[in-house]
Amino acid sequence: MRPEDRELYLTFFMQTTITIKGTHCPSCKALIEDVASETPGISSCHVDFKTGETTIEHDGTVDWTKFKQDVEELGDYTYVAPH
């Protein structure tokens, strides 16, 4: 991505890091990233399944309550507020 494109991209998108407790394997990572890819407003998601640290690039329209609910419905995951 060209620097000027990245600057424009960052004008419209934000990056938020959350923790999702209970992740322990590549399947956990895939499940959560799949939910994120289907969530309106989220453009990318990366889950570190070893730590649960989840980095999400998004615009301002994400319904975080719904995303939290969708993640926790996947299994024994606990969504921890952004830090």
For the chain, the domains span 3-80
pLDDT digits over 48-74, tens only?
A: 999 999 999 999 899 999 999 999 999
Residue 15 parent element (H or E): strand 14-21
The β-bridge partners of 42 are 58
Contact 33, 46 (CB under 8 A): yes
pTM: 0.82
One of 3.30.70.100, 3.40.309.10, 3.40.50.720, 1.10.10.10 is the CATH number of 3-80, namely 3.30.70.100
Mean pLDDT of the chain: 90
Kindly give, in sequence order, each residue whose CB lies less than 8 Å from that of residue 12, ignoring residues fewer than 6 positions away. Answer: 59
Cα distance between residue 20 and residue 77, in whole Å: 6
